[in-house]
Structures are given as C-alpha cells and as structure tokens.
Amino acid sequence: MKFLGRIALCAAFVLGPVVPAMAWGPKANVAIVSTSARLISKESGVPLANLEKDIRSGAEASSGEIEALIPGAGANPVNAIESEMYLLQAVRGSRVDPYFAYRLGVLGALVAQVTGPLYDSNPTYRNLYYADVEANIDRVEFQNAKRVVVDPPSYFGDVIQAAGQRQDLILSDYRSGTGFKGVAGTALSEDASRSVNAVADVMLTVLRGSVAVTNISQGQIRDYILSAVQFFLTRGNDAETESAYKKLVDLGFANEDLQKQIGDMFFDAGKYERAMEEYKAVLAKSPSRRDVIERIAEYYVRVGDGALAEKKLEAALEAYTNALNADLLHPTAQSKKLEVEGMIAERDARQVAAQKAIGEGDDLLRQAEQLVFKREFTDALNLLRQAQERYGSVTDEFPNEARQARGGLLDATNRLGQLQKDVVSNASSLSGLGAGGAVREEAGAAAQQVDEEALKRLLQAQFDAELERLKTESVKE
C-alpha cells in the first residue's frame, strides 16, 4: 500500500495542487547539491566546480525564493522542475555563467526536496529526522550511480517511490524512541545518495541533453534575463550585468517599460549614471512619462544634496538646475537652487573682502617701506602693525587668498621685527631726531622683545642723549 500511496503522491505532484513540506535541512541540502555539481564537473568536463559558490548560493534558497523563481514549486514540484529544465536549456549559451550556475543550484535544491525521505510524512517525526540528518551529513559517504537522461514525470515517479520504501520503518523507529539509531541512520548514505544522483541527472540533462523548449514563452526568457541582471547588479559584477542586458536588447525585449524597469534596478543598486541612460532612452520614446521624469529629478536633487554637504556649491547649483530642467514641478529643487545661489553670493562677497584685505595689506607694506626710507620709524611701525591686521583677517576658506595672506603676514612680521631691532640698536641716534618721545616709546616697546643686554644698551643711550641735551642747554644760558 505504501508504494501505491507514493505513486499516487507523484501523480498528484504532476496533476494536482499539493503543498509539500520541505525535505532535508539547509546543511544537507547544500551538501547534496554541491556534491552533485562536483560529480557533473568531473564526469562531463563542464566546469561547475569553478562556480560552486554560485551553485551553493542557489542551493541555500528558501522555499519562498524557490517559488518566486520557479512558479509552482510548492504545488506541483515535478511540473515546476520540468518547466525550469526547459527554461535553462532554452537560455543555455556557450558557457555557464554565474547566474546560470545559481539557477542550477536553485533547481538542484528543488530536486533534493522532492527526493528526500519522509517528504510528505508526519511533520513531528519528519522534523526530528531531518534534524538528525543535519548533525550527521558530514559523515555520509555518497554513492555515485550511472547518469541517465531525465524525463521528469516518469523519472521522479521512480525516485519518489524508492525514497518512500523505508518511510514506515523510519517513522516506527522515531515513535518507539529508537530514532536515528535505527533504520534512518543505517539508510542515510543510500537515501542522501539518491538525492545526489537525482540532482546530478537533472543538471547533466540540462547541460547536455536535448530537452524540448517548445513550451517556453518569450516572457519566461525575458524574466530569466531580467533576474540575471538583478543578480549581477547585486553582486557588483558590471561586466556580466551589461552582458545580460545586451541579451535583452539582442532578443528585442528592450521596450520602454523594460528599460524603465532596468533603470530602476540600476538606480536602486546605486548605479545612478547608468540608470540615467535608461531613463533618458525612455523619455526619448515617451517624453511625458511622469514616473521617469520624477526619478531623473530625484537623482539630480540627490546629487545636489551630496555636493552641498561637501560644500561644492557650483556642483550643487548645477545639479539642482538639472533637476528643475527635468521636472519644474519638483517640490524642493527650486528652493534648494535659490538657497545655493545665495550661498554662492555670500561666499563670493567674502572672497572679494579677502582680496581687498590683502591689497590693503600690500599697500600698507609699501607705505611702511617708504616711511622707513624717510626715517619716520614711528609711523612705519604703525603701518606694519596695520598690515598684520589686514593679512590676519583673511581666513583659510579660499586657498589662493589664504596663501597670499600668509606670505604677506610673514613679510609684515619679519619687517616689523627687524625695524624694532633697528630702533633698539640705534636709540641714541634716534633720540636726536625730531621724533623724540614717540620714538623712545617705540624703542621701549621693542625692548621688551629683546634680551636684557639690549635693554641696558637702550637705557644707556637714552641717558647719554639726555645728558648731552642738558649740557647744550646750559651752555646756551
């Protein structure tokens, strides 16, 4: 009776909606599919071993992901396997690319589910069994079998029947408490090997067989290639992304709706410039498409915001202008454009002020030099200090002006220091000039910046000068 029950179940998979439970655990599933790929690579020369990472990624797909890629995988898994085999054969090219390998892994995962023991049994004992398999799968020795071409309805009828031969014995052991120590553990190598060989047979049939493709629609092929574009975009593989896109174009699928969809995929992946190419191609065909217009404007506003955050005002202004050119109705582009224009005007005014301060500092330096030549040292010192103030008022906001201001400030400071030293060194001679007390005050201020010996020399010079003045006045009287 159990054999008839399994045959009936297989027929239900093919003919009617049955929602199956998932067989094997994630670790066992990956082990089964990966082992199958290595077998095929070794036996057929197809380099699947080089793509094992992508195959494993497919084998790790959840039941929801499998259903999304292979419609009907839950209700009619055998039909779904057959349809996916046809599709992969239809899109198979001269090489196995990473996405094709990924889809082989997804297909392998579905095949492994269908061919596992206890696939449709009581969930309590089934889950206990698969948990025990997860803990023991690393110790399993897989048994290879001769490859056969898969005709899904008949092939899986036989495999499903074989997978159910020990179901009652395994369930009995789990009910009695014997669990995995009984038939389940003894038969694991054979049961897991059955799934390995089934997955390998399916893979080889896809890669080498002559599966009919008459039931594959152009829509299925288009959706497969679109999924490939998304797959490669997610992994940052630009070359494979463009190769997949070129297939869409070559097959005549690149209408404006698909280009919008591709543009959205590029946009969401952060490939904004590439997305703009697709959006603009759509607008060339349909200039009034609001969904595309809004996306383009959104992009340029985002570019403007990024440039503004980096204080690149001209770049921000250009981006906001581009946003407005794309969509005059954008809710924020106009206000942001006006804000940046105001910031640019304020910045330019600050730059003009910096340039004016540098010019004034340069003029003060020249005037100070002329006064030094005339030996009008007090006024020269004052002008040099004013020049220092002008140069010092320039900030680092504008590199060129900041560099000029630093040079001018250095010149003014050096000249001021030298002049102060000259005043100190020549205090006696300066005392005889008309500058009188003002010069002495300057000399006294400068003396604070020299050593003690210089101060003594300055005071002595002043004393001698004053003594000489008194003698002269006494003679006159």
pLDDT-based confidence at residue 56 (cuts at 50, 70, 90): very high
Q: Which residue has the higher pLDDT, 209 or 351?
A: 351
Report the percent of the chain where pLDDT is more than 70: 83
> For residue 432, what pLDDT is reported?
45
Q: Taking Cα atoms as reference points, which of 192, 145, 115 lies closest to residue 40?
A: 145
> For residue 171, what pLDDT is reported?
95
d(CA 429, CA 439): 11
> For residue 213, what pLDDT is reported?
58
What lies within 8 Å, CB to CB, of 397 at 6+ separation is 347, 350, 351, 354
Average pLDDT, the chain: 86
The two tokens of residue 380 are: 């020269």
> For residue 61, what pLDDT is reported?
94
The two tokens of residue 440 are: 């002495």
Instruction: Report the b/e string of 100-132 with b at 16+ CB within 10 A.
Output: bbbbbbbbbbbbbbbbbbbbbbeeebbebbbeb
pLDDT tens, position by position, 81-99: 999 999 999 998 888 999 9
> Is the model's pLDDT at 16 over the cut of 70?
no
> For residue 45, what pLDDT is reported?
82
pLDDT-based confidence at residue 426 (cuts at 50, 70, 90): confident
pLDDT tens, position by position, 361-394: 999 999 999 999 898 888 999 999 999 999 999 9
> Is the model's pLDDT at 443 over the cut of 90?
no
> For residue 121, what pLDDT is reported?
84
Place of tokens 């985002």: 302
> For residue 474, what pLDDT is reported?
54
> Is the model's pLDDT at 5 over the cut of 90?
no
C-alpha atoms less than 13 angstroms from C-alpha of 320 in its C-beta half-sphere: 22
The two tokens of residue 252 are: 């005549």
pLDDT tens, position by position, 211-220: 555 678 899 9
Q: Which residue has the higher pLDDT, 14 or 101?
A: 101
d(CA 371, CA 388): 17
> For residue 23, what pLDDT is reported?
80
Mean pLDDT along residues 188-195:
96
Mean pLDDT along residues 433-446:
50
Q: Taking Cα atoms as reference points, which of 220, 217, 222 lies closest to residue 251?
A: 222
> The whole model's pTM is what?
0.72
> For residue 465, what pLDDT is reported?
53
d(CA 475, CA 477): 5
Mean pLDDT along residues 26-47:
92
d(CA 382, CA 385): 5
d(CA 35, CA 48): 11
> For residue 331, what pLDDT is reported?
93
d(CA 102, CA 55): 5
Amino acid identity of residue 355, one-letter, is Q
d(CA 18, CA 434): 116
> Is the model's pLDDT at 13 over the cut of 60?
no
> Is the model's pLDDT at 210 over the cut of 80?
no
pLDDT tens, position by position, 147-171: 999 999 999 999 999 999 999 999 9
C-alpha atoms less than 13 angstroms from C-alpha of 159 in its C-beta half-sphere: 29
Q: Alpha-carbon dihedral of residues 206, 208, 212, 216, nearest 10 degrees?
A: 40
> Is the model's pLDDT at 20 over the cut of 70?
no
d(CA 306, CA 338): 16
- Nearest 5°: the CA angle 401, 308, 264 is 145
Amino acid identity of residue 336, one-letter, is K
> For residue 8, what pLDDT is reported?
38
pLDDT tens, position by position, 115-144: 999 987 888 999 999 999 999 999 999 999
> For residue 361, what pLDDT is reported?
96
> For residue 262, what pLDDT is reported?
96
d(CA 246, CA 274): 14
Q: Where do the DSSP E strands lie in 110-151?
A: none
pLDDT tens, position by position, 303-341: 999 999 999 999 999 999 999 999 999 999 999 999 999
d(CA 188, CA 141): 9
